[in-house]
Structure 1
Amino acid sequence: MPTFFPLWVVITHFLNLFFLLLLARSGLEVLSAFPKLYWHDDCPPGREWARFSKKMYGADSRRMWSSLDEEESWSPLIALPGRKNLGLGRHWHFLTVQFWILTGIVYVVLVFVTGYWHYLIPTHWSIVPDSIRAVGTYLHFQIPAKIPGQPFEPAQKLAYFLVIFVLAPFQIATGAAMSPSVLARFPRYGKLFGGKQGARSLHFLGLCAFGVFTVVHVFMVIVHGVPDEFTKIVLADPGGNRTFALALGLAGLFAVLLFHVIISWFSLRYRRRTQRLLGWVVDPFEKAISRAFRSRQRWRRSDISPYHRVNGYPPTDDDYERMAATGFADYRLAVGGLVTRPVTLSLTQLRDLGTQRQIVKHNCIQGWTAVAEWGGVPLSALMDHVGVAPEARHVVFYAMDDKGLTEGEGRYGYFYGTIPLHLAGNPQTILALDMNGAPLPVAHGAPVRLRIETQLGFKMVKWITAIEFVVDTADIGMGMGGWREDQQFYANAAGI
């Protein structure tokens, strides 16, 4: 039989603690952007099964509201980094999950290579009644006997098996089921969890399960004797120096705490640097996901959501309101940049390029979802019409809403967004002119909005006034590839 506490178990145990705390805190930052949990992807206001906010908004509210109004500002003591920094929270989450999965893979490989699996994987159903009896023994304030020849009693062994081989993969699976690119390419996968909202709820419950396990695990260490347990798991030597093991273990925990204090401070103090540093690792993965998957969504009319949330408020200037009052008869879309034939198109001329309809699921970066039918012009048809130059690499969409007026919170400037050219040619990338069989409503981006069904909603620019084809986006705005990327430190790729 293998050694009870080999060094590789000690190392991966510490790394797991380190990464799980990062995942939990950054996950809470993501949750704070939409602190409500649903079991159905329609997300009807007031029908959530869990709400971590005192704010209440209804579908029949007399006052116009945006999903941004539902966002909470949670303390950096619990969320990473806290204070309404969804973009940075996502960066930390997706950076950490890659290393957590890598640690798990190394651990599982070593478990089977070394034969350590004998201590973790039950080989008979008797482990269930044996575990129940072990829990009963604990409840009688006694310590149950270990399984002969093994380091754990039955309840410990079953708990470790469930956490390592069931709960951890479950968290990875539900996490993948929240990716818009994955859901668009494999719609049936999301249905395994009841849709994105089901996956989101289950993912949160999985976090709670990890929390409960951690509390119980720490309590069991205390019950079994802190010096002895620290000696085993810190030094990988049951006979080692207890004082040294305790000091080293506490020093390790203090180092983890200090690290979290530092990264929370750094993330809030140097948000652009944090965006760039974490993006260096996270962005390639996001871009690969975005490039690899194309949407294959084909929802039914019966799937259309009764209520579709809105993120952001429409333009407030007089020119826009005059256009809206006349049904946008005077609207013109300017298309230029690296094209052979720059054009200015009315809505009628835009429709003449050919239209298509698609019933798809909208995935907001905050976490909410809704299904709607969108009708409009394939962006590829517009590209063929204007003749995009070979050197063009990106498409820029300029909007009519001045965020300094419609959003505030210290942010400013007209909204814009960019996408790489390969996304523009996807079959379900369209300039939407209609929604659910009617002209596009003002709240949802009239007269023209972008739809890219493998991306998060913030990439789907509303109230578009102009489109430009460019080589690079570094000299546009603050150079990060979009208004949310500039002002809220989001990642430019939005496939996760």
Structure 2
Amino acid sequence: MPSYFPWWVVVTHFLNLFFMLLLMRSGIEVLSAFPKLYWNDHCPPGREWARFSKKTFGADSRTPWSSLDEEESWSSVVALPGKKNLGLGRHWHFMTVQFWILTGLVYVVLVFTTGYWHYLIPTHWSIVPDSIRAVGTYLHFQIPQRISGEPFEPAQKLTYFLLIFVLAPFQIATGAAMSPTVLARFPWYGKLLGGKQGARSLHFLGLCAFAAFIVLHVFMVIVHNLPKEFVSIVLAGHGSRALALGVGLAGLFLILLFHVVITWFSLRYRRRTQRLLGLVVNPFEKVISRSLSSREHYSADDLSPYHRVNGYPPVGQDYDRMVADDFRNYRLTIGGLVENPTTLSLAELRKLGVTRQTVKHNCIQGWTAVAEWAGVPLAAVLDRVRPTAEARHIVFYAMDDKGLTEGEGRYGYFYGSIPMFLAYDSQTILALDMNGAPLPVEHGAPVRLRIETQLGFKMVKWIVGIEFVSDTDSIGMGMGGWREDQQFYANAAGI
């Protein structure tokens, strides 16, 4: 039989703790952007099963509101980095999850190749009544006997088995089911978990289960004799209790110090944090975005009764006049690295051919809604203007000045960009209609972008111009979009 506590168990145990705390804190930051949980992908306001906010919004509210109004600013003590930094929270979460999964894979491989699985995987149903009796022993303030020839008593063994081989894979599965790219490519997978909102709720409950385990685990280590337990899990059963306690507490202090430092650094140097974490996160997201295409199919019966909006319409007399005139004088300017620069009215846009698609919108905040969109395939626009070989990105310019419509220290007209390959997807359109009627002002009239394998912030609303460019370094702050510039979102938004 293998050693009860080999060195590889010690190392992976420490790494798991290290990565789990990062995942929990960054996950809380992601949750703060939409602190509500649903079982229904329509996300009807007021019908959430859990709400971690005092704010309430109704579908019939007389006062206009945006989903950004639902965002909370949580303390950096619990959220990483906290203070309304969804973009950086997602960066930390997606960077960490890759290393957490890798650590888990290494651990599982070693579990089976070394024979350690005998200590973790029950081989008989008697483990259940034995575990119940062990819990009863604890409740009588006594410590139950270990299983003969094994390091754990029955309740421990069953708990570790469920944690490693059930809860951890469950968290990975529910996390994947929140990816709009994965859901668009494999709609059946999302249905298994109740859609994105079902997966989001289950993922949160999994987080609570992990947190409860950690609290109980720490308590049981203390009950079992902290110095003695530290000798096993810190020094692999070798060395003195004083040394193990010192090394263990020093390791925990270093983890705490690391979290303090990265939280401070993330808030103090947000652009640098975005770039550094993007070195790991962006390639992963780009691979997913590029390799999977949408296979969503929804019917009119699936339309959401209420569809949230993100952001407020442009303000000013120019836009108000266009609205009052039903956008008859609106013109879309298309230029840049194209052979045939052009300016199109709404009527001329429609002549390029209109397609319809009923799809699910995935906001980066976490909410979803289903709607029918009709518009011109972006590929048809490309055929009209003929981009040159140097064109690598398409930039969409909007009419809304975010300094006026959002504030919070942010400024400038909204813009977004996508790589050329996304333009040829059959579900990438310039939407002109929504649910069988002209596009509403709050949803981006007269023209908005729809890309169904991307998060909602990539779907620029109130578009006034399109430019084909070789790169986006000289546009805005050079990150590829207003949200990327001002809120430090990732430019690849397929997850």
The TM-score with structure 1 as length reference comes to: 0.99
Does 1:107 pair with 2:107? Answer: yes
3-state DSSP class of the match of 1:123? coil
Distance across 1 between alignment mates of 2:19 and 2:138: 30
Partner of 1:76: 76
Question: How many Å apart are 1:391 and its aligned residue?
Answer: 1.6
Secondary structure of the 1:329 match is coil
In the TM superposition, what is the alpha-carbon distance from 1:240 to its structure 2 partner? Answer: 2.2
- The amino acid that maps onto 2:267 is L
Q: Which residue of 1 aligns with 2:244?
A: 245
User: How far does the alpha carbon of each residue in 1:128-173 deviate from its partner, in whole angstroms, 9 at most, with x for none?
Assistant: 1111111111111111111111010110000000000000000000
Aligned mates of 2:358, 2:136 — CA distance in 1: 54
> 2 CA distance for matches of 1:485 and 1:407?
15
Shift of 1:425: 0.7
Alignment match, 1:12 = 12
> Structure 1 residue 314 and structure 2 residue 313: aligned?
yes
Distance 2:263 2:325 in 1: 50
SS of 1:401's partner is strand
3-state SS of 1:423 partner = helix
Deviation per residue, 1:426-479 (Å, 9 max, x gap): 010000000000000000000000000000000000000000111110000000
Which whole-Å deviations, capped at 9, do the CAs of 1:344-398 have from their partners, x for residues lacking one?
0000100000010000000000000000000000000110011111221000000
Distance in 1 between residues matched to 2:185 and 2:3, nearest whole Å: 45
1:90-121 deviations in Å (ceiling 9; x for gaps):
00000100000000000000000000000000
Structure 1 position 399 matched with structure 2 position 398: yes
Please name the residue that 1:206 is paired with. 206
Map 1:272-421 → 2, pairs under 5 A: 272-421=271-420
State the AA in 1 paired with 2:450: R
1:431 corresponds to which residue?
A: 430
Say yes or no: does 1:262 pair with 2:256: no
Task: Give the 3-state SS of the residue equivalent to 2:135 in structure 1.
Answer: helix
2:65 aligns with 65
Letter in 1 for 2:315: T
- Amino acid aligned to 2:171: Q
User: Cα deviations across residues 219-238 of structure 1 (Å, max 9, x unaligned)?
Assistant: 1101110011000000001x
- The residue aligned with 2:127 is 127
For the pair 1:225 / 2:225, whether they are aligned, the reply is yes
Letter in 2 for 1:472: D
- Residue in 2 aligned with 1:441? 440
Q: 1:237-265: per-residue Cα shift (whole Å, max 9, x none)?
A: 1x520000000000000000000000000
In the aligned structure 2, how far is the partner of 1:276 from the partner of 1:450?
26
Correspondence for 1:492? 491
- Counterpart in 2 of 1:85? 85
CA distance in 2, matches of 1:172, 1:272: 29
SS in 2 for 1:383: helix
Question: Per the alignment, in what secondary structure is the counterpart of residue 253 of structure 1?
Answer: helix
Displacement, 1:75?
A: 0.4
Which amino acid counterpart does residue 121 of structure 2 have in structure 1?
Answer: I
Letter aligned with residue 168 of structure 2: A
| Distance in 2 of aligned mates of 1:64 and 1:151 | 61
1:161 to 2:190 alignment: no
Give the equivalent residue in structure 2 for 1:481.
480
SS in 2 for 1:334: strand
- Paired AA for residue 111 in structure 1: V
Letter in structure 1 aligned against 2:434: M
| Secondary structure of 2:357's aligned partner | strand
Q: Distance in 1 between matches of 2:211 and 2:128?
A: 22
| CA-CA distance at 1:316 after TM superposition | 0.4
Shift of 1:340: 1.1
- What are the Cα deviations for residues 380-425 of structure 1, in whole angstroms up to 9, with x where unaligned? 0110011111221000000000000000000000000000000111
Partner of 1:40: 40
Indicate whether 1:461 and 2:456 are aligned: no
Secondary structure, in 3 states, of the residue corresponding to 2:306? coil
Q: Secondary structure at the match of 2:159?
A: helix
SS at match of 2:334: strand
Q: Please give the secondary structure, in 1, of the residue aligned with 2:464.
A: strand
Using the alignment, how far apart are the partners of 1:372 and 1:69 within structure 2?
A: 22
Q: Which amino acid aligns with 2:492?
A: A
Deviations 1:165-196 (A, max 9, x none): 00000000000000111011111111111000
2: distance between equivalents of 1:460 and 1:316? Answer: 20
Paired position in structure 2 for 1:235:
235
SS at match of 2:305: coil
- 3-state SS of the aligned residue for 1:184? helix
Identity over aligned pairs, percent: 79
Question: Which amino acid counterpart does residue 138 of structure 1 have in structure 2?
Answer: Y
Aligned to 1:55: 55
Corresponding residue of 1:151: 151
Distance in 1 (alpha carbons) for counterparts of 2:380 and 2:368: 28
Offset of residue 326 of structure 1: 1.2
* TM score, norm. by length of structure 2: 1.00
Which letter maps to 2:474?
A: D
CA distance in 1, matches of 2:271, 2:191: 37
SS at match of 1:396: strand
Tell me the distance in 2 between the aligned counterparts of 1:24 and 1:79: 8
Q: Which amino acid aligns with 2:288?
A: I
Paired residue total: 495
Q: CA RMSD in A?
A: 0.5
Superposed CA deviations along residues 295-344 of structure 1, whole A, max 9, x for unmatched, are 11111111100000000000001111110111101000001111111110
Q: Could you tell me which amino acid in structure 2 is paired with residue 63 of structure 1?
A: T
Letter in 1 for 2:146: K
- Matches of 2:16 and 2:261 in 1, distance apart? 20
Mapped partners of 2:168, 2:89: distance in 1:
21
Distance 1:327 1:128 in 2: 69
Task: Tell me the equivalent position of 1:141.
Answer: 141
What is the identity, as a one-letter code, of the residue corresponding to 2:362?
A: N
3-state SS of the aligned residue for 1:468? Answer: strand
Name the SS for the 1:370 alignment partner: strand
